[in-house]
Amino acid sequence: MISFAASKEMKTEKIDKRQAIIDAAEKLFCETGYEGTSTRQISNESGANMAMINYYFGSKEGVFVEIMNNRIAGFGSQLKIINEDKISAIEKLNRVIDGYATRILSNPSFHKMMHRELSLSQRPEMYNKIKDAMSLNMQLLEKILTDGQEDGSFKQADNRMVIATIMGTLTNIVISPHKVMPEFDLDLNNPKDKKMIKDKAVAHLQDLLTVYLTTKK
């Protein structure tokens, strides 16, 4: 019973088996996909016994659901405040682009996995969760666009398509960075490369949309 003086953990070893399973599963799901990952792999990677997966999460899919819920929770929180600020529409848009790029590029693997799940739409529960989380961001983006259009700072545009351009551009960069910059050997796991790609992406999108939305026809 926890010897005196609180011996927390020994080195950095197994803080929590439950969390270890989540961490290992997320890594593996990102790398090899849901179907491509076996419970035995999760067991090995996490150091937990196979039975613990079902003990804690009921099933392999239960682990997946848990991971997605954890990540998706608090998705819109940081972005929502942007729309409260007393700043111009164009400034709001620029901040949203930066915030969106930051989040997506902070965990490219997970974003890839999310998109695989969305494109497969096998597990309806997950599909709807992802869809809802995304639609939160879309509503925010749309509001910024329509507000800007109403006060005359943005010209009229196909806002749905504008949103598709913002999200699509960032997703495209995350999924195929080599395509974007084939002349270098860029690696999204390298923090330096990641920052460079993010800066380029943000600068491009901000420039693109500023020019597009504020140019008099």
Partner DNA sequence: GCATTTTAATCAATCGTTTGATTAGTTTTG
Partner DNA sequence: CAAAACTAATCAAACGATTGATTAAAATGC
Place of tokens 């993010």: 198
Query: Hey, how many other C-beta atoms are within 10 angstroms of the C-beta on 159?
Result: 19
**Token reading at 13:** 């070893």
CA distance 107 to 115: 13
187 binds a second copy (CB under 8 A): no
Yes or no: say if 175 and 115 are a contact pair by the CB < 8 Å rule: yes
User: Measured from the CB of residue 164, what is the shortest distance to a second copy in angstroms?
Assistant: 5
User: Measured from the CB of residue 105, what is the shortest distance to a second copy in angstroms?
Assistant: 13
Which residue from 22, 24, 25, 53 is in contact with DNA, where contact means CB under 7 A?
A: 53
200 binds a second copy (CB under 8 A): yes
Q: Which amino acid is at 108?
A: P
Among residues 126, 122, 208, 114, the alpha carbon closest in space to that of 162 is found at: 208
Q: By C-beta, is 59 or 156 nearer to DNA?
A: 59
Q: Is 186 left (phi over 0), alpha (psi -120 to 50) or beta?
A: beta
How many residues lie near a second copy (CB under 8 A)?
Answer: 47
Stretch that binds DNA, among 43-51, 118-126, 139-147, 202-210 (CB under 7 A): 43-51
Residue 201 buriedness (CB in 10 A; 0-12 / 13-18 / 19+): buried
Q: For a second copy, what does the binding mask look like between residues 4 and 43, x meaning CB under 8 A? A: ----------------------------xx-xx-------
158 binds a second copy (CB under 8 A): yes
Which residue from 19, 49, 168, 195 is in contact with a second copy, where contact means CB under 8 A?
A: 168
Which of the 8 DSSP states describes residue 49? -
Yes or no: say if 130 and 68 are a contact pair by the CB < 8 Å rule: yes
* Phi, psi angles (nearest 5°) of residue 155: -85, 165
User: Measured from the CB of residue 42, what is the shortest distance to DNA in angstroms?
Assistant: 8
Within residues 126-155, the interface with a second copy by CB under 8 A covers 131, 134-135, 138
Contacts to a second copy by CB under 8 A: 32-33, 35-36, 112, 115-116, 118-120, 122, 131, 134-135, 138, 157-158, 160-165, 167-173, 175-176, 178-182, 200-201, 203-205, 207-208, 211-212, 215
Binding-site ranges for DNA (CB under 7 A): 1-3, 14, 17-18, 37-41, 48-55, 58-61
